[in-house]
Structure 1
Amino acid sequence: MDEKEIKIIVDKIKAIELEIGKAIIGQKDIVKLVLIAIFSGGNVLLEGAPGLGKTQLVKTLSKVLDLSFSRIQFTPDLMPADVVGTNIIVKSKLGNNAFEFQKGPVFAHLLLADEINRATPKTQSALLEAMQEHTVTVGVNTYKLSEPFMVLATQNPLENEGTYPLPEAQLDRFLFKLMVPFPSLEELKGIIDVTINNKATQLNKIIDGDEIFEIRKVLKEVPMSKAVEEYALKVILATHADYTEAPELTKKYIRYGASPRAAQAIISTARVRAVMEGRYNVAFEDIRFVAFSALRHRFFLNFDAMADGVTAEEIIEEILQSQLKES
Structure 2
Amino acid sequence: MKTSPLHASMLHLQSTLEKYILGKHQEIELLLTAVIAGGHILIEDVPGTGKTQLIKSLARSLDGQFRRVQCNPDLLPTDITGMFIFHPKDQAFIFRQGPIMTNFLLVDEINRATTKTQSALLEAMEEHRVTIDGQTFDLPQPFVMFATQNPIEFEGTYALPEAQLDRFMMKIHLGYPDEATEKMMLFRHVLGQPSERVETIADIDLIHKVQEEAKHVHVDDAIGGYIIDIVRATRKHRLILLGASPRASLALMQASKAYAWLKGRSYVTPDDIKEMAPHVLGHRLMLSMDAKIEGVNAKSILEQILKQVPVPIRLEM
**Shorter-chain TM-score: which interval?**
over 0.9
Q: Could you give the per-residue CA deviations for residues 2-24 of structure 1, whole angstroms, max 9, x where no partner exists? A: x44x4433322210011112321
1:268 and 2:268 matched: no
Deviates more, 1:151-160 or 1:100-109: 151-160
* Residue among 275, 278, 281 paired with 1:289: 275
Instruction: Output aligned runs, 1:170-189, within 5 Å.
Output: 170-189=164-183
Instruction: Output aligned runs, 1:1-327, within 5 Å.
Output: 3-4=1-2, 6-93=3-90, 97-157=91-151, 160-196=154-190, 198=192, 202-241=197-236, 250-251=237-238, 253-324=239-310
Q: Letter of the aligned partner of 1:146 in structure 2? A: P
Q: Letter of the aligned partner of 1:235 in structure 2? A: I
Distance 2:222 2:270 in 1: 9
Match of 1:247 in 2: none
For structure 1, the residue ranges without an aligned partner over 5 or more in a row are: 242-249
Distance 1:190 1:133 in 2: 42
Equivalent position SS for 1:78: coil
Equivalent position SS for 2:137: strand
1:121 deviation in Å?
Answer: 1.0
The aligned length equals 312
Deviates more, 1:175-184 or 1:156-165: 156-165
1:301 deviation in Å?
Answer: 0.5
Report the TM-score when normalising by structure 2: 0.94
Q: Could you give the per-residue CA deviations for residues 199-253 of structure 1, whole angstroms, max 9, x where no partner exists? A: 9583222222222111111111111222222111111111112xxxxxxxx22x1
Contact 1:256 1:299 (8 Å CA) reproduced: yes
Q: Could you give the per-residue CA deviations for residues 51-81 of structure 1, whole angstroms, max 9, x where no partner exists? A: 0000001100101111100000001111111
Distance 2:160 2:70 in 1: 16
Equivalent position SS for 1:177: strand
Taking structure 1 as reference, are residues 62 and 322 closer, same or farther at Cα in structure 2, changes over 3 Å only?
A: same
Deviates more, 1:12-21 or 1:63-72: 12-21
Q: Letter of the aligned partner of 2:215 in structure 1? A: K
Q: Letter of the aligned partner of 1:186 in structure 2? A: A
Q: Letter of the aligned partner of 1:83 in structure 2? A: I
1:162 deviation in Å?
Answer: 2.5
Contact 2:222 2:312 (8 Å CA) reproduced: no
Deviates more, 1:64-73 or 1:152-161: 152-161
Taking structure 1 as reference, are residues 16 and 119 closer, same or farther at Cα in structure 2, changes over 3 Å only?
A: same
Taking structure 1 as reference, are residues 310 and 317 closer, same or farther at Cα in structure 2, changes over 3 Å only?
A: same
For structure 2, the residue ranges without an aligned partner over 5 or more in a row are: none
Q: Letter of the aligned partner of 1:41 in structure 2? A: G
Distance 1:131 1:21 in 2: 27
Q: Letter of the aligned partner of 1:303 in structure 2? A: M
Q: Letter of the aligned partner of 1:238 in structure 2? A: A
